[in-house]
Amino acid sequence: MKKRLIDIVGSIEYPITCAIIKNQLTGFLDEVETDAETIEFLDVRKGEGRRTYERTLAFLSAYAASKIDPSWHISIKHSYGDALYGEIDGKYSDDYVEELLRVMKDVVKKDYKIDKLELPKEDVIERLRKEKRYDDIKLLKFLSRYHTPIYMLHGFFAYFAGPLLPRTGLLKVFDIKPYPPGFLIVLPDPKNPDKLAEIPHREKLFHTFQESKEWVNILGVNYVGDLNDLIASGKISEMLKIQEAFHEKKIAQIADMIYKRRDSVRVVLIAGPSSSGKTTFAKRLRIHLRVVGLNPVTLSTDNYFVNRDKTPLDENGEPDYESFEAIDHELLRDHLARLIKGEEVQVPKFNFHTGNRSDKRIPLKLQKNDIVIIEGIHALNPRLTEGISDENKFRIYVSALTQLNIDAINRIPTRDTRLIRRIVRDMRYRGHDAKTTIKMWPKVQQGEEKWIFPYQEEADIMFNSALVHELAVLKIYAEPILRVLDSSEKEYAEALRLLNFLSHFMGLLPDEVPPTSIIREFIGGSSFKY
């Protein structure tokens, strides 16, 4: 016999948001067997527990907007630290934002129940058609499911790709703040969920997201349904070429910026989180620097790893390869300073099979038009280039800041794109199955929070490596890898979540993906050597 999970457990309190049962993500409005085994509760602090809270806030904001004015339509664009950035159909004023917060708080105070229905897809589409929600129709018509889950609140309904909370009263901690041309939904602090998170000002990151929004507007592909329409109609080719051209143009602009500072810049520093595409970006930038008359020389931070017996340990006593101390930063800093002075250095060579630095050394000395490129996760850490004048450095931050969303209130987390990239690459080139990559991902995220994200605003320029069409391409490679996980494995829940996410995309063969594309770093077929 099946019952909703909330009816089985009786009640829940904040900060609990969802659960894992038999290694499957389960919302409290989902039906499960009444003899369900051990229930692992998730909360608002991390992972799918936090995403469930985010989704429910997005649902509440859309509901509140519809009650204030039926012409208002909320779009949740992207994350912004521990907040969600959204807009009200291009409209903006502080009064709008204050009214949105007031209505949301009122709905939370009244603790309304949220209902979940499983309806035939055509019935949902008919409802959407009556309300002229054509973007949602585009999305659902390509879903290969007979029944479609929708969430209801006093006549307002929306589709979501994951579970929501069962009551509005569970949204205990949040705030809405003006952030022109939109607003921020501030989330709970991930370390202390009883208080609001602090939101640092990230002007450069926000500017990069806004630039990406302009890209998708030009492409006419704001949501997954738009992308699927192009694939299904056979009209994807031109869009793909334009998107790749955006990348090419941006990289050329960055090369021009470096050229204008050629009399002072001697070092180009490229940093970014895991699977952001910084390696391919660095290779493409090299080409554009050659075009403007500069001669780039690459200095890999990988060759400056300390010997494995000197690698620092994390709190669990395991080697922490993400740590800044895993790099011989003193030697690298010394080499950079000497290169800038025109001296010759002996660059080390790290042997990843033995885990030690080899006896081999490579002599390096900069000539007149030479410029050093350093690519690595710590490249923007000020300690790495301490003592080197800022005028001698040009800093670039690379990340896959996903421009595309599932629909107006179902956003695609940037980390999901990078995780899928990494799952595909690790299987194809590193011999790691999806279980291994998923298992190590939380540690990778910890390293990013500590060693990468705090320095992203130090960059002179940011480059968004995300491509509108890439998840449709990655789907073809990722789905078989994810499907082999066994239901008895802990990582199965995350694999199922990713498979559900990818089910929203039509697959796209990589035939027209250029050999220099960022995606080629992960799926293969690149004309670059890695």
pLDDT for residue 9: 92
pLDDT tens digits for range 377-403: 999 999 999 999 999 999 999 999 988
pLDDT tens digits for range 48-63: 999 999 999 999 999 9
pLDDT for residue 419: 98
Average pLDDT of span 269-278: 96
Whether the CB-CB separation of 267 and 372 falls below 8 Å is answered with yes
**Ranges of each domain in the chain:** 43-186, 204-293+389-523
Q: CA 408 to CA 223: how far, in whole Å?
A: 7
**How does residue 92 score in pLDDT terms, banded at 50, 70 and 90?**
confident
pLDDT for residue 353: 83
Between 405 and 36, where is the model more confident?
Answer: 405
pLDDT for residue 477: 98
Whether the CB-CB separation of 489 and 23 falls below 8 Å is answered with yes
Assess whether pLDDT exceeds 80 at residue 305: yes
Give the SS3 label for residue 118: strand
End-to-end CA separation in angstroms for the chain: 54
Amino acid, res. 172: K
pLDDT tens digits for range 419-437: 999 999 999 998 999 999 9
Q: CA 502 to CA 138: how far, in whole Å?
A: 16
> How is domain 43-186 classified at the architecture level of CATH?
2-Layer Sandwich (3.30)
pLDDT for residue 317: 87
Assess whether pLDDT exceeds 80 at residue 200: yes
Assess whether pLDDT exceeds 80 at residue 37: no
Average pLDDT of span 339-368: 91
Q: CA 301 to CA 378: how far, in whole Å?
A: 8
The lowest-confidence range among 126-135, 165-174, 218-227, 410-419 is: 126-135
pLDDT tens digits for range 467-516: 999 999 999 999 999 999 999 999 999 999 999 999 999 999 999 999 99
Token duo for residue 147:
């029944």
pLDDT for residue 245: 97
Token duo for residue 331:
């030697």
Backbone torsions φ then ψ of 53, nearest 5 degrees? -65, -45
Token duo for residue 472:
């449709």
Give the SS3 label for residue 319: strand
> Which residues, in sequence order, are CB contacts of 256 under 8 Å at separation 6+?
292
Closest CA to 180 of 212, 214, 203: 203
Assess whether pLDDT exceeds 80 at residue 124: yes
Q: CA 243 to CA 217: how far, in whole Å?
A: 11
Listed in order, strand segments (DSSP E) in 173-291 are 175-179, 182-186, 267-271
Question: What one-character DSSP code corresponds to residue 453?
Answer: G
pLDDT for residue 2: 86
Average pLDDT of span 218-245: 96
pLDDT for residue 316: 85
pLDDT for residue 123: 93
Average pLDDT of span 402-419: 94
Assess whether pLDDT exceeds 80 at residue 285: yes
Average pLDDT of span 138-167: 93
Assess whether pLDDT exceeds 80 at residue 36: no
**How does residue 170 score in pLDDT terms, banded at 50, 70 and 90?**
very high
**How does residue 145 score in pLDDT terms, banded at 50, 70 and 90?**
confident
Between 33 and 288, where is the model more confident?
Answer: 288
Instruction: For the beta carbon of residue 11, count every other beta carbon within 10 angstroms.
Output: 9
Give the SS3 label for residue 88: strand
**Residues of the chain with pLDDT > 70: what percent?**
100
**Residues of the chain with pLDDT > 90: what percent?**
86
Question: What one-character DSSP code corresponds to residue 456?
Answer: G
Assess whether pLDDT exceeds 80 at residue 320: yes
Average pLDDT of span 14-32: 95
**How does residue 359 score in pLDDT terms, banded at 50, 70 and 90?**
confident
Between 421 and 146, where is the model more confident?
Answer: 421
Q: CA 500 to CA 511: how far, in whole Å?
A: 25
Token duo for residue 345:
């250095």
Among left, alpha and beta (phi > 0; psi -120 to 50; other), residue 149 is: beta
pLDDT for residue 5: 94
Average pLDDT of span 293-315: 91
Average pLDDT over the chain reads 94
pLDDT for residue 343: 94
**How does residue 33 score in pLDDT terms, banded at 50, 70 and 90?**
confident
pTM of the complete model beyond 0.85: yes
Strands 31-33 vs 83-88: parallel, antiparallel or unpaired: unpaired
Beta bridge partners of 203: none
